Amino acid sequence: MTTTAIAESTTDYIAREDAWGAHNYHPLDLVIAEAQGAWVTDVGGRRYLDCLSAYSAVNQGHCHPRLLRTMVQQAARVTLTSRAFRNDQLGAFCEELGALCGMEMVLPMNTGAEAVETAIKAARRWGYRTKGIAHDQAQIIAFDNNFHGRTTTIVGFSSEPAYREQFGPFAPGFVLVPFGDIDAVRAAMNHNTCAVLIEPIQCEAGVLMPPDGFLRELSALCAREQVLLMADEIQTGLGRTGALFACDHEGVTPDVYILGKALSGGFYPVSAVVSRRDVLGVFGPGSHGSTFGGNPLGCAVAREAMRVLHDEQLVQRSATEGAWLLEQLRSLRHPAIRAVRGRGLMCAVELHEPARPYCEALQQRGVLCKETHGTVIRLSPPLVVARRDLEWAVEQFRAVFTR
């Protein structure tokens, strides 16, 4: 295939997508056709190191052979029953995920936003039934710069104007406080507070971490005030930060885990809310549901995805390789670089100027990453990534960030 043919082919794909698809994303201009492990290949045959992992959905790597085999085998048996009938995968999935989290009950959904919405409903009903909050007065505390999804309820308590503009009116019942400010949380709490919703690390905001000890203080405060601590670990969970959950870095077990993305290794939308029996036990028949949530195909793939994390020691690999990568990125010297931060294989390079041109330059050198909030380059390669591939990626960063 000639260079001209490759360019035309890529241009055609992009033109068709732009003509027929809503423009709610601004992707880099390449068209991926295949993927394996930590690498993807475009329609022209060029390979790239994926340093985004579908926003941490493919922690186990692209097209993991065990997940592929499980998906094909399950798809040949049964894919969907709805929750009107039981299936032979759901119970085992709930048991295994509950045990992994050290919790008693699991409520499976599909997307991360659905899981967040489910947690909000559970927290409110728990507040009315257990804490005695007056009807329709329940309050949930969230944090500035949060990103929990794209539904109207969730964007309603975002502090990012672009996420909210012309999508109102929004649901009441949410209070925002500065991320990492325990005094602000304490001041915002009252009898109507049923929950605090937090990302242990704010990923979309630019891999922002709270001060050391904040999560421990927050957990103790919530326990003392009879408030649920709900940890959105959709991006940070399942090994991404070098621990099974980001909360583990401070020895904190929240009342509610909200999980998704890597829960199915990128093969199928699977999310879940995992908690105690007194929290998820507030749901009864008819109070919540999903046609696809808990389907046998998703459950079978998610069970295997959890086993892959364990068998291939991906949590430990994230800790080791992430520490090395962060050290290398911090050694970069360039006037555009403002800060480098991260934990495990979740890193960010914050700049003094727009990050998009640097992401495009890295793309030209075969490394795929994406800007967030304008000036931050976020890196989160699959946890299966080889050290030699990370070494090569660092060489490309050094080439781009030369004085």
Boundary of a domain, candidates 311, 339, 365: 311
Domain identity same for 237 and 198: yes
Residue 368 CB neighbours (<10 A): 22
Query: In total, how many domains does the chain have?
Result: 2
The active-site residue out of 42, 50, 232, 389 is 232
Domain identity same for 275 and 135: yes
Domain identity same for 37 and 151: no
Q: Token pair of 209, please?
A: 């971490």
Q: CA 87 to CA 85: how far, in whole Å?
A: 7
Q: Which domain holds residue 237?
A: 65-311
Angle at 267 between CA 263 and CA 268, to 5 degrees: 75
List the CATH number of the domain containing 260.
3.40.640.10
Domain identity same for 26 and 173: no
pTM for the full model? 0.96
Domain identity same for 125 and 243: yes
Domain identity same for 44 and 87: no
Q: CA 109 to CA 113: how far, in whole Å?
A: 9
Boundary of a domain, candidates 285, 311, 337: 311
Boundary of a domain, candidates 253, 276, 311: 311
Is 147 among the catalytic positions? Answer: yes
Is 232 among the catalytic positions? Answer: yes
Domain identity same for 159 and 173: yes
Q: How many CA atoms lie within 13 A of 173 on its CB side?
A: 21
Domain identity same for 136 and 253: yes
Domain identity same for 29 and 79: no
The active-site residue out of 42, 143, 179, 261 is 261
Per-residue pLDDT of the chain (403 residues), as tens digits, is 444 445 568 999 999 999 999 999 999 999 999 999 999 999 999 999 999 999 999 999 999 999 999 999 999 999 999 999 999 999 999 999 999 999 999 999 999 999 999 999 999 999 999 999 999 999 999 999 999 999 999 999 999 999 999 999 999 999 999 999 999 999 999 999 999 999 999 999 999 999 999 999 999 999 999 999 999 999 999 999 999 999 999 999 999 999 999 999 999 999 999 999 999 999 999 999 999 999 999 999 999 999 999 999 999 999 999 999 999 999 999 999 999 999 999 999 999 999 999 999 999 999 999 999 999 999 999 999 999 999 999 999 999 998 6
Domain identity same for 51 and 71: no
Domain identity same for 381 and 307: no
List the CATH number of the domain containing 326.
3.90.1150.10
The active-site residue out of 143, 147, 214, 292 is 147
Is 143 among the catalytic positions? Answer: no
- Per-residue model confidence as pLDDT tens digits over 336-391: 999 999 999 999 999 999 999 999 999 999 999 999 999 999 999 999 999 999 99
Q: CA 382 to CA 314: how far, in whole Å?
A: 9
Domain identity same for 244 and 387: no
